[in-house]
Amino acid sequence: MIGHAGQTHWLFPGQRPGQHISADRLGLRLIAVGIQPGQARSTALFAVAEEVPAAILARMLGIHIRVAVQWQKASAGDWAAYAAAVSRPADSGDRTVQPSL
């Protein structure tokens, strides 16, 4: 790298002065130390999609609103279906579960 380490404002400086490291190069560095960036990215997107409205998610990430809605449905929808399935009685016949007060 040209120049001194203290002369850049980037957390991950690139080889060219004043430029950040490319996403590809950073990905290769992460893989070299045993971190799978693709899996981590998906996990992070699911976590954010659970907490943030689709319109804000789309604007923050620069993605189309439809894609943001799909991420929200995938992250929250599966958990809602799982919770509903787990809460059903094993033999659902004519019995209904009454909430206790």
> Token pair 């991950």 is at which residue?
12
Residue 25 pLDDT: 92
pLDDT digits (tens, 9 = 90+) for 61-74: 899 999 988 888 88
Is 52 contained in some domain?
yes
Task: From residue 62, give the alpha-carbon distance in Å to each of 6, 47, 48, 96.
Answer: 31, 17, 14, 46
Total domains in the chain come to 1
pLDDT digits (tens, 9 = 90+) for 9-38: 888 888 887 888 998 999 999 999 998 888
Q: Is the confidence at residue 92, as pLDDT, over 70?
A: no
Q: Is the confidence at residue 45, as pLDDT, over 90?
A: no
Provide the Cα torsion 67, 68, 71, 75; round to 10°. -160
Residue 73 pLDDT: 85
Is 92 contained in some domain?
no
pTM of the predicted protein model: 0.46
Query: Residue 31, SS3?
Result: helix
Cβ neighbors of 69 (< 8 A, separation 6 or more) are: 54
Domain holding 62, by residue range, is 12-87
Is 76 contained in some domain?
yes
